Structure 1
Amino acid sequence: HPVLHKLDDIPKLPDDFLERGRIPQLIEAIRIMKREVGDEVAIIGGIIGPFTIAGAMLDAVPILKATIKSPDKIHPFLEIGEQAGTLLGKALIDAGADLIAVEDMQASPDLIAPKSYQKLEVEYQRRQVEALDVPVIIHICGNVDKIIPFMEDTCCAAISIEPKSDVRVARKILGPEGILIGGVDTAKTLFMKGPEEVRAGSIEQIEMGLDILAPGCAIAPGTPIENLLEMVKVAREYKYD
């Protein structure tokens, strides 16, 4: 996508936001899933988080530099990012989503300092969680060990992590009440290995403290379906404490 704005701009949310691009198809897909399998499984709608939307409007390098040099200039873009994600989230809920998963890739500690995440992003994620009337899952890529306490401050229903993070660290911070999702490596395990390795990796992650077994990130095209089915089988068979 072309860069839309510069840091000194004042961004605005388009009036026809929900009619743009593939958004109508995304909403319709939720309707179809709700109609076809809504009585059997939970329907999860996905939205992008405020910082990542802000990064799409400004481009990666300018927003990353701004977290250090001029963080106050990012707030108008975070505001729009929160509004856009919340608007889409509400539309997905109306279409039948039982939960909303917020993917905020650029808010990763691999890209911005933990303190920048705390000072810039947490408040907007909290607003989003409060505005959506279903449980909200927050997923941030990379090793999020250092920001787990700040992610908890968003009041989200569950935190999703990938294998770069240590499940045991997250479990210690969240305590027994916090809900932890994720664990299975989507590239090294689900994509490149077989069902036996998927089963072993899934059990290992659960035993380290996961509450809900899931892919650690987006599933790569071409991932063997038998690997995904094996992961589901483990989740159904495992006797959680």
Structure 2
Amino acid sequence: MTEYNPKERLARALTGQPVDRMPAICVTQTGTVEQMEACGAFWPEANSDAEKMAALAEAGHTVVGFEAVRVPFDITAEAEFFGCEIKEGTKEQQPSVVGHVVKTIEDIEKLKDYDMSEGRINVVCDAIKLLADKYASDLPIMGSMIGPFSLAQHINGDDWFMAIMTNEKFGLALMDFVTDFNVAYAQKMVENGADTMVIIDPTASYQLIGAEFYEKFVVPFHRRIVDAMHEMDVPVVLHVCGDTTKGLSLMETCGVDAISVDQNVDAAAAVSKVEKAVIVGNLDPVNMLWNKTPEAIKEESKKILDAGIGLLAPGCGTVSKTPTENLQAMIEMAKNHTY
């Protein structure tokens, strides 16, 4: 069989084409303290400085061995862009959203005149360009963003889950607004060199909101992003936290190329629930990758691979204190796996 470079291999794997072996990648956040120390780019500065962001993303490849580079490392830049209050992270902890800006449809209207050349979202795009200028011919350049449902929650706050159930007009208006932004942001990332798009939508959970609300408030909006990316020949990976087993078939209807599942999902069950989507995952980032030995990680990786997983990867974002050797154990298992 033809031997592919990492860029070709991942593109083929995500679109259901034959490959020589499994790509060794991580679709969720990749930054760790050991990488920061190796490359000299540390959080929180690496979340807001394009050169440091690119350097830390590059360390995921040069220090750890992932066959892709990926930015950013957190999911708060989009909410910050719209004026939400952000609690700054530390060298070991990511930033978080602590203040919200939208309560009414009128509040949404006030946010519509935005400039995508401003804020951290522009920093992410600049980092992508730096990475693409260096690696675009050989490595996948992954752009990632928070998905529209979770962005709506960041903007609206804890009222969001009640809002979709009691105020459909407001809920759909906010979803329309954030999805338009998501599409424009994704397109800008691609224009700067991203060739793979990852949607991280942690609270867009079938388990949390049920089939009716997922079908109304999530699927059509994910589909708009996927369609826009497919028009640019960019495959899309969707990650939703929690036990998504019962919702996987519905999640797939938005047209995503791959679905990343977390450690609460049985890998074999996940594979059985989808028709075409590649299932990505799902090593426990805390109880396995952070806290176990390389030997234990290889053993657990084999179980997941034997279950038919499409791409071996962490089940959620990499914990910042994860040892490099533990990530390399997972990478080794992926590289040695043929379909």
TM range (shorter): over 0.9
Matched, 1:213 2:312: yes
Measured in 2, the distance between the counterparts of 1:118 and 1:49 equals 15
Which residue is equivalent to 1:29? Answer: 127
Measured in 2, the distance between the counterparts of 1:10 and 1:75 equals 14
Which residue is equivalent to 1:157? Answer: 257
What TM-score do you get using the length of structure 1 for normalisation? 0.92
Matched, 1:48 2:137: no
Structure 2 counterpart of 1:188, which letter?
N
Matched, 1:114 2:211: yes
Aligned positions, number = 238
Matched, 1:6 2:103: yes
What TM-score do you get using the length of structure 2 for normalisation? 0.67
Matched, 1:135 2:235: yes
Matched, 1:236 2:338: no
Deviations 1:124-144 (A, max 9, x none): 111111111211111111111
The alignment partner of 1:221 has SS state of: coil
The alignment partner of 1:107 has SS state of: coil
Which residue is equivalent to 1:66? Answer: 163
Does 108-117 or 183-192 show the bigger shift?
A: 108-117
Q: Would the aligned equivalents of 1:168 and 1:209 in 2 still touch at CA under 8 Å?
A: yes
Aligned-pair Cα RMSD in Å? 1.6
Instruction: Tell me which stretches of 4 or more aligned residues in structure 1 moved more than 6 Å.
Output: none
Matched, 1:84 2:181: yes
Q: Would the aligned equivalents of 1:145 and 1:165 in 2 still touch at CA under 8 Å?
A: yes
Query: Unpaired runs of 5+ in structure 1?
Result: none
TM-aligned CA deviation for residue 62 of structure 1: 0.7
Higher relative contact order (CA 8 A, sep 6+): 2
Structure 1 counterpart of 2:185, which letter?
L
The alignment partner of 2:292 has SS state of: coil
> Equivalent pairs: percent with the same residue?
28
Structure 1 counterpart of 2:278, which letter?
I
Matched, 1:169 2:274: no
TM-aligned CA deviation for residue 178 of structure 1: 2.8
Which residue is equivalent to 1:101? Answer: 198
TM-aligned CA deviation for residue 209 of structure 1: 1.8
Query: Unpaired runs of 5+ in structure 2?
Result: 1-84, 86-98
